[in-house]
Structures are given as C-alpha cells and as structure tokens.
Chain A
Amino acid sequence: MVQIVISSARAGGLAEWVLMELQGEIEARYSTGLAGNLLGDLHYTTEGIPVLIVGHHILYGKIIHLEKPFAVLVKHTPGDQDCDELRHETGTRYLVTALIKDKILFKIRPKPIITNVPKKV
C-alpha cells in the first residue's frame, strides 16, 4: 500500500498565486530552454480586463474566481534528516507551496501585432 503525504510547506499562511490559462502549447524558441526567458507583458485595462502581449500577439482575457481552488504541490524526495513526528522515515511527500483562487483566462484567438511602425525610443 503506497502512502504519500501532502502537507503545508511551512507553518503559517499559505501564499496565494494566480493561474494563467493560455491556449495551445509553450515552446522555447531556442534549445536553451525556457528558464529565464521572457513570456510577455501583462497589462490590465482600467476596467480590469487582462491584456497579454506575447511576442507578436495581443491576447484579451478575463479574471475568473475559481469555484474549486488549486493547490500547488511540490514534490519532495526524502533526505537523511527526513523523519516525521513518529520517527518513521518518510517517503516521497508533496508540499503545498501555494494556493490558487483566481485565474486569468485567455481564450480569445491571439491577434497578431502588425509591426511596420518603427519604435520610438
């Protein structure tokens, strides 16, 4: 019987993050991978509508408060010092690192930006 514990990463309140839902897949342009790369700029209109500029695309979305929140679980494989309060060696655990109660959903087909205007810097 496998038993995996899910518990809070630390005592005290859990951080709240935001989920962003985009259509399609994310691929790195270069083989060096995604880490450190920019995704884009996220703006909000004065009415609160999220606008995401990704590469040559503008995406308009909406903020949704989730009926079913998410927990972000980070896998933690045991080291030598990992024992639970009963002094049993713990196996793999998942730590709840944050909760997500809101999401920014971009469902609308991206509008490409026509870039024949030289930038004014």
Chain B
Amino acid sequence: MKRTREEVDATLLIAKLNAAELMPTVHCLSFGPGASGAAAGDFCLLELEPTLCQQLEDGHRLVIRGDKDEQAVLCSKDKTYDLKIADTSNMLLFIPGCKTPDQLKKEEAHCNIIHTEIFGFSNNYWELRRCRPKLKKLKKLLMENPYEGPDSQREKDSHCSKLRPCYWRILEFDYEMKLLNHVTQLVDSESWSFRKVPLNTCLQELGPLEPEEMIEHCLKCYGKKYVDEGEVYFELDADKICRATAHMLLQNAVKFNLAEFQEVWQQSVPEGMITSLDQLKGLALVDRHSRPEIIFLLKVDDLPEDNQGRFNSLFSLREKWTEEDIAPYIEDLCGEKQTIGALLTKYSHSSMQNGVKVYNSRRPIS
C-alpha cells in the first residue's frame, strides 16, 4: 500500500518540519523484493576508479581471476588490481530512480511523490588496489629458470619464463630500501601524485609498520619537503627513486638481460616516474657487445680508492672503455688539478675503434 500525500504531510507535522523549507518532492522509500540478497551473494558493490567506470560505460568487460590459494585480482583491458572486501560499520543502500536535489531542480514538472524501491543494501563492498610487481614471486620465478648461457636451449625456447639473469643470490634488503618500498607502495595505492605526498597520512598509514622518525627520514632522503595550505608534503625525487629501485633489482643478480631489466624496472617504479639508464651512472654498467645485451651492478664505492688500483680494476672488468662509460667511475678521483681527461692520459692508452675513441690499460693486467 503506497503512502499518500496526506500521510507524508501528517508525518511532517509530527516531525515539526516546516513544509515551506522543503522542496515539494518527497521520495517514499521502501524495500524491494530482493533487498536482503547481499548476504546470499546475489549482488554486491564494486568501487571503481574513474577510468574503470568509463570503460564499463563504453561497454568493456572486466575479469576476476585467481587461483584458490591466491589473492583474487581484477583485470581491465590494460591494468590489474588486487580485489579486497572492505567492511564498513555503516549500511549502504542502493536506490534506483532516486533523484538528487540538483536533478530535481533541473526538472520542469514537480511531481509530488516518487515511490522508490530500494534494490538492495550491504555493509561491505569490493575495493580495488593497483598491483605492484610482486618481487617475491619474481624471485621465485627466476630461481626456477637459471640462465645457462647464450647457447642454452632455454634461450631459444620462447615459452620459457621471461626473466633470466645468470643466477640469483637471495640477499636481505637494506632497511632503507624496505622503508622506501613502504612509501612507494602507499603512494601507488592511494593514487597520490608523487609530487604531493602528505606527511601525516604516511605516518598514519605506515606508523604501525615502522618507527615514524624512520618514515620521515626516508621521505627526506628521497624527496623535498614543502608546505601547502598548512599541510606538510614531500615532492619525491624521481631520479633518486628510480636509481634506488634499479639498485634493489640488480643487487641480487650477477647480471641481467638488459631489455628485460628495463621492462621490470619501469614497472617497479611509482606511477608517473620515467626510468632512464642515465640515472644509473656510477651504479651499473651496460655491456652492449654481449648477446643478449646485459646490465650489471657496478658501484664506484666498491672499487679501489687509489688511482692505479681503480684503473686496474676497471680494465680487468672490461678491456676497452669509452669516455662516457668510464667517466662516472673515475670522477671522484679528480682533484683540484686533475680532470677526467688528465687522468685518462696518465693511466690509460687511447685508440679508435669503429670511429669511437676508446681507452685501455697502459700495461698488461695480471
């Protein structure tokens, strides 16, 4: 039995609400036949990012995937999300045909009563979080498929696992890298711009995991602090973070297939940051003469501090160097009076190779 206008007005009177202060239209809400169906799993709410919403409106589909013992994921045509259930202590009712005040104002006809049926209600919804490449799973895959050299059958087998460095040594991540990971994962899951990372929210969300001073220290190391409308934010340094991420990836392998490394590296840095080999000067070395091209960790800090020792170790690693490649590894040796050019003249011998000037050792390396 539907409510009448008289009944609505009587209720307003009892409620001591002045009809003159209200818009003329009332929605009389009642529960539809299947309203309690959430418990049975008949329907549910899925929280969307605006881009996903647009894709659904354009008619694209989404797919939920998962193995029994794995976190379920939702896949759109170009992104993957972790799927989680978010509980709320409140009741969420979804109501078809319910108009907002703005919609009512735009309408010409002012109908008096809209009898509205509540389709359903729920106290939870599905929440999506962007996936980051799972480094532990990556390591597991790599351990299962060791690189055995360019003539290996595996190299030719195109169905094999994608990433094939020489071998993995499982090392413990440095504490600073652990903190950085927490921060970058939070930035991704909250969809913040990496140029505007709010300090307070970081401390709130990560406080349970790590000491607050450490979180703030990490932000200071990898970003620049600023204040906007009374709130403290950090602008993260993309170059520093890309470099640190590369370091994390490279330190567990002797060498890495260059193309594959670049792909994983780009996927591992926060959204919006662009990786570039220029960021790795003095940290890693690329060998463009090997097949496939490889990259490996070479930290200038690990090399001998004295000039002759430094050049000896560099030339034992690689016989001939271009100035571009060797410069980051001898820059720190330059004093007041010595430039890179001067060092090269003193400690190496130059020649031309394929039109490019290269440097090699002055004497045989034992």
* A contacts, CB < 8 Å to B: 1-8, 11, 13-15, 17-26, 33-46, 48, 50-51, 53, 58, 63, 67-75, 94, 96-102, 104, 113, 115, 117, 119-121
Residue from the list A6, A44, A117 in contact with B14, Cβ < 8 A: A117
Beta-carbon contact of A72 and B43 below 8 Å: yes
Given contacts A3-B63, A58-B15, A75-B41, contact A39 B119 (CB under 8 A): no
Counting CB contacts under 8 A, is B90 at the interface? yes
Beta-carbon contact of B63 and A5 below 8 Å: yes
Question: When chains A and B are docked, how far (Å) is the Cα of A67 from the Cα of B51?
Answer: 11
Chain A positions within 8 Å of B85 at CB level: none
Known: A11-B59, A18-B98. 6 other contacts (CB 8 A): A8-B56, A58-B15, A67-B50, A70-B45, A71-B46, A98-B96
Number of A-B contacts (CB under 8 A): 203
Given contacts A1-B65, A6-B63, contact A44 B44 (CB under 8 A): no
Residue of A nearest to B74 (CB): A6
Interface string of B83-100 (1 = CB under 8 A from A): 000001111111111111
Beta-carbon contact of B91 and A26 below 8 Å: yes
Counting CB contacts under 8 A, is B123 at the interface? yes
Counting CB contacts under 8 A, is B232 at the interface? no
Number of interface residues of B (CB under 8 A): 73
Counting CB contacts under 8 A, is B306 at the interface? no
Beta-carbon contact of B36 and A121 below 8 Å: no
Chain A positions within 8 Å of B65 at CB level: 1-3
Counting CB contacts under 8 A, is B210 at the interface? no
Beta-carbon contact of A25 and B29 below 8 Å: no
Residue of B nearest to A20 (CB): B93
Chain A positions within 8 Å of B91 at CB level: 21-26
Counting CB contacts under 8 A, is B13 at the interface? yes
Chain A positions within 8 Å of B101 at CB level: 44, 48, 50, 63
Counting CB contacts under 8 A, is B172 at the interface? no
Question: When chains A and B are docked, how far (Å) is the Cα of A91 from the Cα of B55?
Answer: 22
Beta-carbon contact of B31 and A34 below 8 Å: yes
Residue from the list A21, A42, A70 in contact with B46, Cβ < 8 A: A70
Residue of B nearest to A40 (CB): B29
Cβ-closest 9 pairs across A and B = A48-B101, A42-B27, A7-B61, A39-B29, A18-B98, A4-B64, A6-B62, A119-B10, A34-B31
Beta-carbon contact of A17 and B53 below 8 Å: no
Question: When chains A and B are docked, how far (Å) is the Cα of A48 from the Cα of B21?
Answer: 10
Beta-carbon contact of B35 and A34 below 8 Å: yes
Counting CB contacts under 8 A, is B186 at the interface? no
Question: When chains A and B are docked, how far (Å) is the Cα of A46 from the Cα of B72?
Answer: 46
Within 8 A of A (CB), among B32-62: 32-36, 41-50, 53, 56-57, 59, 61-62
Give the Cβ gap from A83 to chain B, nearest Cβ, in Å: 15
Given contacts A37-B31, A63-B101, contact A71 B53 (CB under 8 A): yes
